[in-house]
Amino acid sequence: MNKRKRILAACLCVSSSAVLADSNMEYHIDGFLTAGFGVLTGGQVFTQQLDANTLESQILAGLPPLYDTVLARPSIYGYNGKLDLQQPSIIGVNGRLDINDEYSVLLQITGLGATDFEANVEWAFLEYKPNQNWDFRFGRMRIPLFMFSDTVNVGYTYPWVSPPNEIYQFVGFSTYSAAEMVYENELWGQNLRATLYYGVFSTSNISVGFSGTFTAKQLFGGYFTYGNPDIYFRMQYGEGYLQDVLPTPALATIIQAYTTIYGAPDVASGYEYNNTRAYFEEIGINIDKGHWVFLAEVVKQGTNSPQFKTTLEMYATLGYKIYEDWLPFVGFAQEKTLDKATRIYGGLLGEALNPLLAQVNTDQKTVTLGMRWDVFTNTDLKLQVERIDPTHGTMGTYSVNPNQADYLIRGTVDTVF
């Protein structure tokens, strides 16, 4: 166990709240844990990959690039045809130090099974609350793009094994160093909470499939929620800027060759991404009233570059509580590329680029059946089956095209303490 893992393990041995001796400061520590399994059905499939050895010579000869047919096993969200006991597992600790009535320091450290439980600081920020209406935060925080962004690692706070991946797995970064200004008040008998945020990143080499990688530099925007604990609405708009975009080697070779030989400046300029603007639009609703539970979000994401896709993601989940402790639910989710036609090239250039761009498109539909059982007031058991179907000739968010719908079966136990 390395040093960072030992620190995380030591932190999680403590769950307490106390007043520090000889001062008015108070601290609170609590934690959360998820353990589970996952497996993707389906076997190996034949897929086409670029022949890197002959790519440049084919282009220079005025021929379309060659593709090799290989046998591969599809994977999605880190799961493949093997039983995985580590991918869904999460362990974390929250700490809060109240310095006085106005100032507090908050910290969250997590370890994800997907990264071998390496300790990661999700929150580390100073909170200044001058009165009951205003709240100012400065430091490292989770990016507030979606409805469950703050609690995405705390499985006990939502009905699914994990929030729908069509939305929550799409953005390649989750934290930033930021300043947030929050205003909260009552409006027409309901609670209104409005937040403005501005942050910067140190995240680099974020993968975007066949397009390559990029570095996200800054993000700013705002969101508000309106409602009460039984039902509330959320709307969000954010903008960010991308820099240092690097195409994959295969795509870079094609761009360079066709720009030099055939003249394709529109292709090359599409990959000049310094200060490229990206935007995120979201609207959501959360209903938990009586026996019924309904959750839905719609997100649109895109950039001002023709090579990065513009997508629409959505999900809707409906559940019905039985005896307060059991929640069977059904859900539907979809991811759709909106601008396929504007990223298609003609002629020999199209024969080279279009197959690659088609693999950047990630259209898919998911139908989910699941069950949550609240065993104790702080512990639940979950089981869900997802039918994930790539659509419109794309491979969805699979690693390779499965050529059919596959089933992802997952289960977890979640607890907070």
pTM score = 0.86
- DSSP string for residues in 65-82: PPEEEEEE---BTTB-SS
Nearest to 383 by CA among 105, 175, 160: 160
Q: Is there a contact between 153 and 192 (Cβ–Cβ < 8 Å)?
A: no
Of 264, 244, 243, 245, whose CA–CA distance to 255 is shortest?
Answer: 264
What does the pLDDT read at residue 83? 93
- With the C-alpha atoms ordered 222, 243, 359, 85, is the resulting torsion angle positive or negative? negative
Question: What are the C-alpha distances in Å from 373 to residues 231, 292, 380?
Answer: 22, 15, 5
How many angstroms separate the Cα of 327 from the Cα of each of 156, 356, 378, 385?
Answer: 13, 42, 15, 15
Report the distance separating Cα 372 and Cα 382, nearest Å.
Answer: 5
Which burial class, exposed, middle or buried, applies to 200 when counting CB atoms under 10 A from its CB (0-12, 13-18, 19+)? middle
Distance of alpha carbon 100 from alpha carbon 295, whole angstroms:
37
The letter for the amino acid at 251 is: L
The residues that bridge with 415 in the sheet, in sequence order, are 33, 379
Q: Taking the domains of the chain in order of start, what are their residue ranges?
A: 3-416
Q: Exposure string (b/e) for 318-337, b if CB count within 10 Å is 16 or more? A: ebebeeeeebebebbbbbbb
Cα torsion 12, 13, 19, 25: sign: negative
375-396: b (≥16 Cβ within 10 Å) or e: eeeeebebbbebebbbbeebbb
CATH of domain 3-416: 2.40.160.10
pLDDT given at position 3: 42
Q: Which residues of the chain have pLDDT under 70?
A: 1-23, 43-71, 170-173, 202-216, 244-275, 305-307, 341-360
